[in-house]
Chain A
Amino acid sequence: MEYGILLSAGNEVDFMVHGLFQYSFFGHKVWITTTHVSILIVMLLLLGFAIAANRAMKHAKEVPSGFQNVVELIVEMLDKMVKGTMGKNASKFRNYIGTVFIFILISNLSGLMGLRPPTADYGVTLPLALMTFALIHFNTFKHNSLKAIWVDKCSPLPPWLPIWLPINIISDIAVPISLSLRLFANVLSGVVMMALVYGLLDLFALIWPAFLHVYLDIFSGAIQTYVFCMLTMTYIQNAIGDGEA
């Protein structure tokens, strides 16, 4: 209990983040945790894939074969997803959305490799959602005049009567919180369920937990990745679209 929120170890059933190494950062006690280790492994995996993909695309052939096929398939799929939601703004955001999509997907799937998924730590999902938040408001101010933003923030009532302004601001602040908590809680519920199965039923957990892994890690993880990226794109599209309508 002394490690603070979500850092404490359970007894038999273990799904918590563990502190591995403590150091002092400007007088604060800071921990290197298991999340850092698993995020490092995920990053190394992605880095290796990126280097291999870069090498494959440097010697790209007219008719793709082998690894080049796989890379083109992934890029085309991500492009199609971004284009389907964002239309003509897709070219500016497909790099960011593609990066976030691949990172969250591999993070969620890393439960299969025996790691604790990095996205089951609120310290990982909150920054992701805060990046979305920053992008939303950057694009709002870039594509709309200040007057249009003010009218929009007072929206159900006329702009000279800003009674709804605080409610609209609260609903803006709720966006990153709900985005991050959705991803966090979904992955965490999978982690807790698998820890309960392996911790309490270790004699009977023979083959059937594989099906739970298929649902909780692969299906749920992929759906939540898709939802996170989809909502990010929709919010950004709304922020841009107001100015052009």
Chain B
Amino acid sequence: MGFDENFIRGCSAIGAGLAVIAGIGPGVGQGIAAGHAAAAVGRNPGAKSDITSTMLLGQAVAETTGLYGLVTALLLMFVQPLLP
């Protein structure tokens, strides 16, 4: 391998930046869930607490893919598995 250490560090930083783009997906997904929950509360205000807890559960599950990206970025930045 002819690459020096700083090149690998820089590429790791670029990879970490690319990995957190995964945050777009959960953002869109949580927004959709919140929008539908708002519509559901508008239609049936009596079930507000049930709707809110279901929405939060679904949003927390949808968040997972974004967090995978975050973990990948943190690993690339701080553990630096690519360094020899």
A182, A192, A224, most chain B CB atoms within 10 A: A182
Complex interface residues of chain B between 25 and 74 (CB less than 8 A to chain A): 56-57, 60-61, 63-64, 67-68, 70-71, 74
B1 close to chain A: CB less than 8 A: no
Beyond A5-B79, A8-B78, A16-B78, whether A185 also contacts B57 by CB under 8 A is no
Residue of B nearest to A7 (CB): B79
Contacts of A185 in B (CB 8 A): 64, 67-68, 70-71
Describe A's contact surface by its main secondary structure: helix
Q: B79 near A182 (CB under 8 angstroms)? A: no
| Range, interface on chain A | 20 to 34
Q: B79 near A224 (CB under 8 angstroms)? A: no
The 8 Å CB contact of B63, one of A6, A182, A231, is A182
Beyond A5-B79, A6-B79, A8-B79, whether A181 also contacts B60 by CB under 8 A is no
Shortest Cβ distance from B55 into chain A, in angstroms? 11
Q: A223 near B70 (CB under 8 angstroms)? A: no
Q: B74 near A223 (CB under 8 angstroms)? A: no
Beyond A1-B80, A192-B74, whether A226 also contacts B57 by CB under 8 A is yes
Shortest Cβ distance from B58 into chain A, in angstroms? 10
Q: A188 near B56 (CB under 8 angstroms)? A: no
Q: A227 near B79 (CB under 8 angstroms)? A: no
Q: A189 near B79 (CB under 8 angstroms)? A: no
Contacts of A145 in B (CB 8 A): none
Residue of A nearest to B81 (CB): A5
A1 to B80, CA, bound (A): 9
A237 close to chain B: CB less than 8 A: no
Q: A182 near B64 (CB under 8 angstroms)? A: yes
A231 to B67, CA, bound (A): 17
Chain A residues in the interface with B (C-beta under 8 A): 1, 5-6, 8, 10, 16, 178, 181-182, 184-186, 188-189, 192, 223-224, 226-227, 230-231
- 23 pairs, A vs B, C-beta closer than 8 Å: A1-B80, A5-B79, A8-B78, A8-B79, A10-B78, A178-B64, A181-B64, A181-B68, A182-B61, A182-B64, A182-B67, A185-B64, A185-B67, A186-B60, A186-B63, A186-B67, A188-B74, A224-B60, A226-B56, A226-B57, A227-B57, A227-B60, A230-B57
Query: Which 6 pairs from chain A and chain B are nearest by CB?
Result: A185-B67, A227-B60, A182-B64, A185-B71, A223-B60, A5-B79
